[in-house]
Structures are given as structure tokens and as C-alpha cells.
Amino acid sequence: TTAIDVESGIVGKRVETVQLWKIRDLTYRQSATDRILNLARIHVVTQDPSSPNLDLWGMPASRDIFERLKQAVDTARRKGGVMGVTE
């Protein structure tokens, strides 16, 4: 409810965390191949210098996850008193 954790790696593991209030923009993407496979990607743009762009791929092709993420970002901003995100 406050962050996105992305774990990557097969042998070595890496976990990247992005606080929701740092998210600047979200984009729901679905290529022709993604549509056939019933998958989607969510592109996340943040103000975090260590991970300014984050792609969540292989997500179920449901806009519900995208909508819930947008709501969670708004909630995190309100709780933290963030009025807007600037560079």
C-alpha cells in the first residue's frame, strides 16, 4: 500500500523499491503480442533518481490492477501531504 517492490534475478536476487508517493506518471501498455497472450505492461515514471523508469511486465491484462495502482498513488500522496511532484 506504500511501495512497489520489484524482485529480479535468477541466481542473484535484486529487490528494487519505489515509494508510491514518488510516482509521477503511470501508463498501461499492451502490444499485439501481449493481447494474444492476455498480458499487459505498466510503465511507471518516478522522481526517484535510482530508478526513474520502471516497467512492470507480464501483468494480467486487467485494467483493474492499473486502476488500483493509480488509486494507491493518490492515497499515498494525500497521506504524505504531497501536493504535486516537481523536478
Instruction: Determine the Cα angle at 49 with ends 45 and 16, to 5°.
Output: 75
Is the distance from CB of 73 to CB of 65 less than 8 angstroms? no
Q: If we measure between CA atoms, which residue out of 52, 55, 45, 46 comes closest to residue 22?
A: 46
Reported as a pLDDT band with limits 50, 70 and 90, residue 86 is low
Distance, in Å, from the CA atom of 58 to the CA atom of 39, rounded to the nearest integer, reads: 6
pLDDT digits (tens, 9 = 90+) for 18-71: 999 999 999 999 999 999 999 999 999 998 888 799 888 888 887 888 999 999
Helix and strand numbers (H, E) in the chain are 2, 5
Rg for the chain (alpha carbons), in Å? 14
